[in-house]
């Protein structure tokens, strides 16, 4: 069993890595092969994968994870402003700061479980957001968002003798500019590392312990085991993932805004994870990619594009088709997103990964009798995916 | 002076609390009985408000008359038919469109609630909360987008009947000076929310139906085993929650011009209210609603903001954290509901 | 330049860089210069078309305003391409526009949703720049978004023509060489309102501010306070309110006991609609304080917002960038053209967006190239007329347009649903002008223009 899963894990990891690194190639037909969107796929995928370590393994639903992402971004931008435009110190600082903050929030929130836990995390995140937007403006630059300025100190860059120009410096990895395609490849590599760590955690005794907590915390407690430290570690790790994702956002685009911490952002990562498949390894990444794709591509259609799309139809029908399709794209892209949520959860309990599994069953021709009961399928079915 | 200010803030708090409590009441009823996390509850509140908007639109269906004041292009202005044909009666009806909207909203909201429960929510009783969140959130987005498509994104003003559009000089009545005035409509809203809350409690307390529902909240399987058709009753409970949220929405329109997003704005807050009140406790939700409303009002006073800047922005969440740390299951929560 | 070439240099960059970075770690900014011959980003070269990016809010609280902006942009594209009646192209003075696109290239456009969030707005603008190859991004309905997108365009190397943004910071603390604002700002609102308020309400007033707790709110509060205090008013209290508070009752009741006789609402959008509606419900306007009628002022007005507030705006003073009832030839031409197309008059947001598009196109024609630095040079200090605001100048020092400001009042007897504001005074430009280094605008630096290569 162990050996088998080890082999399939390596295959999964290799497949995932290839798929991520080759995104510029296979995303082209979908119109999504430009750096910014691919960076977003990688960053939010990482965020969701990290979130899944908490939610997928322990069942604890945090509604405030965006706060860690926001704090990671702020830390990274401050590192750019004060220390250096090199991204490595920024990333390390973000992960540490997010980890410390996650420890504080987790330590308090994990005293409760279920919805009480969710509301505690939500409360902390909303307090962070509201304060960052207003009172903490000296640190966060409020609504406008924390930005680089020409007059920033950048102590380390100064010592290293990097000349000050009249244009803003770029974030870089030892001179390699971190926007555009290099930025994407950097995010992709970080995502792959994050994915690898996630697999290791899922397969480790620690991961097994967390799953035990999910299935029956009381029983775990009866065995004389204190579950809190395990939960706290899971919380901190997923908070650090969020901080890392926040840092990458700042790396590819050095601006940190308060709205990253709002409850809607926390809700988004919850939706990403559920949409992709809670407790699966790849699911959260897929969920994140789907939502970001809809947000960036569907919102960009307008009547001109649609007319081109439906150009093959006769004029009268074309007009109708454009009108109908117009409801779902452009300013109506939210409607499509809502439909996607409903359709997925109604027909594919267990998210996109359940769809993938069913497809796999169809292909291999196995009978459908093996299908796990709808509700529990998410955790059981995808153990190997 | 300070006393006046405090008194007014108590009124503000009660008013706000009334709104919170009404929304939270339905939410917790659905939590407690059906075991469903309903992220579309805010959308029901918003739909209620748009019942009022719709009724007003119907009452002011207009003919298009060429607008002579605009000379640059062909512009039309709208002349409401009802008011044009029957100036007195028509004007009166339009003036009272918000109160009339209550009668209009009850059957509509009930129907929406029943359809929603039958068509969707029912199939999610036994599903994980994660699935419930995703599906109801998706539904909420869809409802919002439909409203946005027909009514636009801008708030649409709704006015209270002329006779109650001013404010009452409460201070003068009690001989306390002129500085304690309060809008009639807000006083009406407070009275309205208290009576709806009272009505729901009485319904659950004193009817057989309510007894079964309360028993169902305690132990659903047990009631089912007794041969009672709990399913049908749950459908009605959902309809009831929908009506309560909708009425809260109708009555709130003169205070807050409704727009398609108002449900989402209230959603998170009402979850906090429900949880602070304690899962499965109707009384807790009401108590928490009023408590948070009043604390929020006090925290917004300049005297307090000058000591702790920004406290009004976070007070609700801060109180939520403190309450949940001091009382593990909120103010009046029962053991074992949504704790895992 | 097509998409392909973009990714071609990028990939090459990566290969070179990855080889290099292993060898010489720490070589600073080694690869900032591009290997390619294109002298500026997204050069349309010999293409027959040029693409502009219209980045407007399509969801969230400002969606209606965004929709109106988009209508104006589509109209502007039509006119630039020589379709329709030409609108303000006929009244613009001086004008190099020929009605054959820009520099003979047909104008195409892409759209995106800012969601009124900095992140989403930047993502959308980046898509336009990286994927659709736009040479100019424009739009937006809030200052936070404008500042965020402006700095993105500066870093990327395209021109940003701001839409509706009213905070001083856009052309103050956060000004950028590649960014331009036609819309007026909070300082100008204050300067224009001052004298009108003095005439209407006298010199002895005690003002109470309710201010949205974020950058724009603060700059407006500061501007209006300075202006009202200069006409002799005192300031009773300044209270910050959370954005999106919904119910403002807890901030309104303390006004009753404050002794103030004037309420200044530094709110915009939904906040403005709600706070104004509720303030009037509390009977503030029926009150008398020391023998003076209580007054409410909304320094930044927009007709779309006024619709949301219904009857409550009647008789309330505010300022606006433009209003469709203006009778100059430019405004009339625009209203006619817009009205015929869509059946109702344009909002001030639509106006500023339309004008910005024409100004950009004209600057490109005059420069003879789309190259951002040339366009910047041709916009800087440019003086023009006939676009609805009278003689106007794009000041070189901060890329802010200087022009007359309209002081308006909610109309008592509107003749139609669009006829909500009446113009009280057209404050001349000289009265609202300020030096580039004015204290409310200090701390910024235009930097140098960026061509993106």
Interval B97-134: pLDDT, tens:
899 999 999 999 999 999 999 999 999 988 888 889 88
Averaged pLDDT, A216-228: 78
Q: Evaluate if residue B286 carries a pLDDT over 90.
A: yes
Whether residue C230 lies within 8 A of chain A, CB to CB, comes out as no
User: What is the distance between the alpha carbons of residues B34 and B46, in angstroms, rounded to a whole number?
Assistant: 22
| Sign of the Cα pseudo-torsion (B311, B315, B321, B327, in order) | positive
Higher pLDDT residue, C416 or C313?
C313
Asked whether the beta carbons of C112 and C69 are under 8 A apart, the reply is no
Q: Which ranges of chain A does DSSP label H, i.e. alpha helix?
A: 2-21, 23-26, 35-58, 66-82, 87-109, 114-133, 137-140, 155-159, 180-203, 205-215, 217-222, 228-252, 263-276, 283-297, 303-309, 315-326, 333-347, 351-364, 377-381
Q: Evaluate if residue C274 carries a pLDDT over 70.
A: yes
In tens, the pLDDT along C216-246 reads 999 999 999 999 999 999 999 999 998 888 8
Q: Domain boundaries in chain C?
A: 1-37, 49-184+327-398, 187-320
Higher pLDDT residue, B334 or C358?
C358
Q: Evaluate if residue B224 carries a pLDDT over 80.
A: no
In tens, the pLDDT along C309-354 reads 888 899 999 999 999 989 899 999 999 999 999 988 999 999 999 9
Q: What is the pLDDT of residue A216?
A: 77
Name the residue facing B137 among A115, A263, A341 (closest C-beta). Answer: A341
Structure tokens at B278: 């304690």
* C-alpha distance from A3 to closest chain C C-alpha (Å): 36
**In chain C, what residues touch A160 (CB-CB under 8 Å)?**
26, 28
Structure tokens at C275: 């706070």
Whether residue A378 lies within 8 A of chain B, CB to CB, comes out as yes
**Residue B41: which H helix or E strand, with range?**
helix B41-59
User: What is the distance between the alpha carbons of residues C247 and B269, in angstroms, rounded to a whole number?
Assistant: 13
Yes or no, beta carbons of B159 and C416 under 8 Å apart: no
Please tell me whether the peptide bond between B227 and the residue prior to it is cis, using omega within 30 degrees of 0.
Answer: no
Hey, which residues 266-295 in chain C have their CB within 8 Å of chain B?
270, 273-274, 277-278, 281-283, 286
User: What is the distance between the alpha carbons of residues C34 and C20, in angstroms, rounded to a whole number?
Assistant: 15
Q: Evaluate if residue A279 carries a pLDDT over 70.
A: yes
Kindly state the percentage of chain B with pLDDT values over 70: 97
User: What is the distance between the alpha carbons of residues B59 and B61, in angstroms, rounded to a whole number?
Assistant: 6
CA-to-CA dists, residue B288 to A49, A103, B19, B190, B269, angstroms: 36, 29, 12, 16, 11
Yes or no, beta carbons of C21 and A40 under 8 Å apart: no
Contacting partners of chain B (3+ CB pairs under 8 A): A, C
Yes or no, beta carbons of C31 and A150 under 8 Å apart: no
* C-alpha distance from B70 to closest chain C C-alpha (Å): 9
User: What is the distance between the alpha carbons of residues B270 and B263, in angstroms, rounded to a whole number?
Assistant: 10
Hey, which residues 135-174 in chain C have their CB within 8 Å of chain A?
143-144, 147-148, 151-152, 154-155, 169, 174
Q: Evaluate if residue C28 carries a pLDDT over 80.
A: no
Q: Is B338 helix (H, G, I), strand (E, B) or coil?
A: coil
In tens, the pLDDT along A283-298 reads 999 999 999 999 999 8
Structure tokens at C117: 């969030």
Hey, which residues 314-373 in chain C have their CB within 8 Å of chain A?
none
CATH code at C187-320: 3.40.50.2300
Q: For residue C21, how far is the Cα from the chain centroid?
A: 43
User: What is the distance between the alpha carbons of residues B116 and B324, in angstroms, rounded to a whole number?
Assistant: 32
In this prediction, residue B340 has a pLDDT band, given cuts at 50, 70 and 90, of low
Q: Domain boundaries in chain B?
A: 2-326
Q: Is B29 helix (H, G, I), strand (E, B) or coil?
A: helix
Q: Evaluate if residue C32 carries a pLDDT over 60.
A: no
Averaged pLDDT, A263-277: 93
Kindly state the percentage of chain C with pLDDT values over 70: 92
Yes or no, beta carbons of B153 and C60 under 8 Å apart: yes
Q: What is the pLDDT of residue A193?
A: 97
**Which listed CATH number (3.50.50.60, 3.20.20.70, 3.40.50.2300, 3.40.50.150) goes with C49-184+327-398?**
3.40.50.2300
In this prediction, residue B190 has a pLDDT band, given cuts at 50, 70 and 90, of very high
In tens, the pLDDT along C40-61 reads 999 998 899 999 999 999 988 8
Q: What is the pLDDT of residue A267?
A: 93
Yes or no, beta carbons of B305 and C419 under 8 Å apart: no
User: What is the distance between the alpha carbons of residues B244 and B212, in angstroms, rounded to a whole number?
Assistant: 20
**In chain A, what residues touch B130 (CB-CB under 8 Å)?**
55, 61, 270, 274, 278
Higher pLDDT residue, B223 or C26?
B223
Q: Is C422 helix (H, G, I), strand (E, B) or coil?
A: strand
User: What is the distance between the alpha carbons of residues C375 and C371, in angstroms, rounded to a whole number?
Assistant: 6
User: What is the distance between the alpha carbons of residues B139 and B148, in angstroms, rounded to a whole number?
Assistant: 14
Contacts of C214 (CB under 8 A, 6+ apart): A133, A134, A137, A142, A143, C144, C243
Q: Domain boundaries in chain A?
A: 2-263
Q: What is the pLDDT of residue C22?
A: 40
Torsion of CA C123, C125, C128, C129, to 10 degrees: -100
- CB neighbourhood size of A233 (10 A): 18
Q: What is the pLDDT of residue A378?
A: 39
**In chain B, what residues touch C283 (CB-CB under 8 Å)?**
166-167, 181, 183
Predicted-complex ipTM score: 0.90
What DSSP line would sit under A256-309, residue for residue? Answer: E-GGGGSHHHHHHHHHHHHHH-TT-SSHHHHHHHHHHHHHHHGGG--HHHHHHH
Q: What is the pLDDT of residue A300?
A: 86
Q: What is the pLDDT of residue C4?
A: 39
Among residues C277, C287, C282, C315, the alpha carbon closest in space to that of C410 is found at C315
**In chain C, what residues touch B78 (CB-CB under 8 Å)?**
417
User: Is C187-320 in the same CATH topology as C49-184+327-398?
Assistant: yes
Averaged pLDDT, B315-340: 87
User: What is the distance between the alpha carbons of residues B215 and B204, in angstroms, rounded to a whole number?
Assistant: 10
In tens, the pLDDT along C174-195 reads 999 999 999 999 999 999 999 9
Averaged pLDDT, A163-192: 89
Yes or no, beta carbons of C447 and A160 under 8 Å apart: no
User: What is the distance between the alpha carbons of residues A110 and A234, in angstroms, rounded to a whole number?
Assistant: 11
Q: Evaluate if residue C405 carries a pLDDT over 80.
A: yes
In this prediction, residue B1 has a pLDDT band, given cuts at 50, 70 and 90, of low
Yes or no, beta carbons of C418 and B70 under 8 Å apart: yes
In this prediction, residue A366 has a pLDDT band, given cuts at 50, 70 and 90, of low
In tens, the pLDDT along B228-265 reads 777 888 899 999 999 999 999 999 999 999 999 999 88
Contacts of C336 (CB under 8 A, 6+ apart): B72, B73, C85, C87
In tens, the pLDDT along C72-102 reads 999 999 999 999 999 999 999 899 999 999 9
């Amino acid at each position: 069993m162990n050996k088998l899963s080890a082999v399939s894990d390596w295959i999964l990891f290799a497949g995932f890595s290839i798929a991520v690194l080759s995104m510029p190639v296979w995303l082209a037909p979908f119109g999504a092969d430009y750096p910014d969107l691919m960076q977003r796929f990688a960053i939010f995928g990482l965020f969701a994968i990290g979130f899944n370590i908490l939610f997928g393994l322990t069942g604890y639903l945090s509604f405030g994870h965006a706060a860690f992402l926001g704090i990671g971004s702020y830390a990274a931008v401050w590192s750019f402003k004060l220390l250096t435009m090199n991204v490595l110190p920024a990333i390390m600082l973000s992960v540490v700061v997010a980890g410390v903050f996650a420890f504080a929030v987790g330590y308090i929130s994990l005293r409760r479980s279920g919805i009480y836990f969710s509301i505690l995390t939500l409360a902390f995140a909303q307090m962070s957001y509201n304060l960052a937007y207003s009172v903490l403006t000296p640190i966060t630059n409020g609504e406008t968002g924390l930005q680089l300025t020409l007059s920033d100190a950048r102590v380390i860059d100064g010592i290293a003798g990097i000349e000050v120009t009249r244009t803003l410096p770029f974030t870089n990895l030892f001179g390699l500019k971190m926007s555009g395609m290099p930025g994407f490849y950097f995010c992709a590599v970080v995502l792959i590392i994050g994915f690898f760590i996630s697999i290791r955690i899922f397969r480790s005794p620690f991961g097994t312990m967390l799953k035990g907590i999910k299935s029956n915390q009381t029983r775990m407690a009866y065995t004389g085991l204190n579950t809190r430290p395990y939960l706290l570690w899971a919380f901190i790790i997923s908070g650090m993932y969020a901080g890392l994702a926040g840092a990458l956002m700042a790396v590819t685009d050095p601006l940190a805004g308060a709205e990253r911490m709002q409850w809607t952002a926390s809700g988004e990562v919850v939706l990403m994870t559920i949409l992709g498949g809670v407790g699966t390894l790849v699911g959260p990444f897929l969920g994140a990619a789907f939502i970001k794709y809809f947000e960036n591509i569907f919102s960009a259609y307008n009547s001109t594009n649609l007319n081109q799309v439906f150009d093959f139809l006769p004029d009268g029908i074309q007009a109708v088709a454009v009108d109908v399709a117009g409801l779902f794209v452009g300013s109506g892209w939210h409607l499509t997103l809502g439909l996607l949520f409903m359709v997925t959860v109604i027909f594919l309990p267990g998210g996109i990964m359940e769809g993938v599994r069913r497809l796999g069953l169809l292909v291999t021709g196995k009978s459908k009798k093996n299908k796990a009961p709808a509700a529990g399928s998410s955790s059981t079915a995808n153990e190997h995916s | 002076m300070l006393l006046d200010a405090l008194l007014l803030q108590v009124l503000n708090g009660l008013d706000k609390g009334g709104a919170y409590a009404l929304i939270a009441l339905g939410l917790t009823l659905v939590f407690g009985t059906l075991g469903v996390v309903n992220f579309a509850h805010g959308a029901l509140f918003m739909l209620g408000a748009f019942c009022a908007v719709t009724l007003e639109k119907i009452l002011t269906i207009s003919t298009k008359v060429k607008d002579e004041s605009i000379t640059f292009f062909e512009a039309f202005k709208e002349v409401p038919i009802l008011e044009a044909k029957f100036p007195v009666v028509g004007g009166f009806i339009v003036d009272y469109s918000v109160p009339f909207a209550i009668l209009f909203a009850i059957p509509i909201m009930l129907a929406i609630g029943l359809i929603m429960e039958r068509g969707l929510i029912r199939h999610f009783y036994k599903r994980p909360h994660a699935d419930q969140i995703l599906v109801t959130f998706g539904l909420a987005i869809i409802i919002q987008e439909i409203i946005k498509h027909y009514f636009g994104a801008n708030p649409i003003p709704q006015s209270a009947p002329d006779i109650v559009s001013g404010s009452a000089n409460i201070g003068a009545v009690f001989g306390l000076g002129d500085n304690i005035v309060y809008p009639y409509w807000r006083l009406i809203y407070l009275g309205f929310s208290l009576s709806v809350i009272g009505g729901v409690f009485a319904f659950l307390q004193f009817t057989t139906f309510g007894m079964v529902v309360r028993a169902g909240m305690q132990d659903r399987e047990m009631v089912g085993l007794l041969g009672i058709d709990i399913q049908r009753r749950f459908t009605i409970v959902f309809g009831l929650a929908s009506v309560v949220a909708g009425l809260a929405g109708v009555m709130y329109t003169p205070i807050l011009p409704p727009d398609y997003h108002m449900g989402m704005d209230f959603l998170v807050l009402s979850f906090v209210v429900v949880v602070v009140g304690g899962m499965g406790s109707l009384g807790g939700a009401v108590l928490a609603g009023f408590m948070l409303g009043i604390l929020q009002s006090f925290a917004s006073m300049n005297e307090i903001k000058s000591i702790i800047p920004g406290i009004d922005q976070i007070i609700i969440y801060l109180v939520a954290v403190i309450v949940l740390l001091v009382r593990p299951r909120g103010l009046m929560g029962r053991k074992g509901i949504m704790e895992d | 330049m097509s998409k392909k070439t973009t990714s071609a240099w990028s990939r090459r960059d990566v290969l070179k860089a990855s080889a290099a970075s292993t060898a010489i770690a720490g070589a600073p900014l080694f690869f900032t210069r591009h290997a390619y011959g294109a002298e500026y980003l997204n050069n349309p070269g010999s293409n027959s078309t040029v693409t502009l990016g219209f980045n407007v809010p399509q969801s969230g609280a400002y969606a209606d305003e965004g929709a109106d902006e988009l209508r104006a942009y589509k109209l502007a594209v039509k006119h630039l391409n020589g379709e329709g009646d030409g609108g303000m192209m006929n009244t613009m003075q001086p004008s190099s526009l020929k009605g054959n696109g820009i520099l003979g290239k047909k104008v195409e456009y892409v759209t995106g949703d800012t969601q009124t969030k900095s992140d989403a707005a930047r993502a959308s603008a980046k898509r336009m720049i990286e994927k659709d190859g736009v040479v100019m991004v424009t739009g937006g309905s809030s200052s936070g978004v404008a500042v965020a997108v402006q700095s993105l365009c500066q870093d990327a190397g395209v021109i940003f023509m701001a839409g509706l943004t009213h905070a001083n910071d856009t052309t103050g603390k956060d000004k950028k060489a590649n960014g331009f604002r036609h819309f007026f700002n909070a300082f100008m609102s204050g300067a224009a309102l001052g004298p009108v308020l003095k005439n209407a309400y006298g010199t002895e007033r005690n003002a109470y501010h309710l201010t949205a707790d974020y950058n724009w709110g603060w700059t407006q509060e500061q501007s209006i306070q300075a202006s009202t205090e200069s006409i002799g008013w005192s300031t009773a209290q300044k209270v910050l309110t959370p954005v999106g508070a919904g119910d403002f009752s807890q901030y309104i009741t303390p006004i009753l006991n404050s002794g103030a006789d004037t309420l200044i609402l530094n709110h915009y959008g939904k906040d403005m609609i709600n706070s104004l509606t509720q303030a009037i419900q509390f009977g503030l306007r029926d009150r008398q304080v020391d023998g003076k009628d209580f007054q409410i002022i909304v320094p930044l007005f927009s007709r779309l917002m006024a619709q949301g507030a219904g009857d409550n705006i009647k008789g309330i003073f505010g300022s606006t960038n433009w209003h469709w009832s203006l009778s100059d030839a430019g405004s009339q031409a625009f209203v006619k053209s817009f009205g015929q197309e869509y059946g109702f008059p344009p909002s001030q947001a639509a106006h500023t967006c339309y004008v910005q598009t024409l100004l950009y196109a004209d600057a490109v024609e005059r420069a003879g190239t789309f190259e951002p630095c040339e366009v910047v040079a041709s916009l800087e200090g440019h003086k023009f007329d006939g676009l609805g605001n009278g003689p106007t100048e794009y000041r070189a020092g901060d890329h802010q347009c200087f022009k007359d400001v309209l002081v308006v009042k909610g109309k008592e007897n509107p003749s139609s649903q669009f006829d909500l504001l009446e113009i009280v005074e057209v404050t001349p430009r000289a009265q609202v002008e300020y030096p580039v280094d004015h204290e409310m605008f200090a701390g910024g630096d235009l930097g140098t223009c960026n061509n993106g290569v």
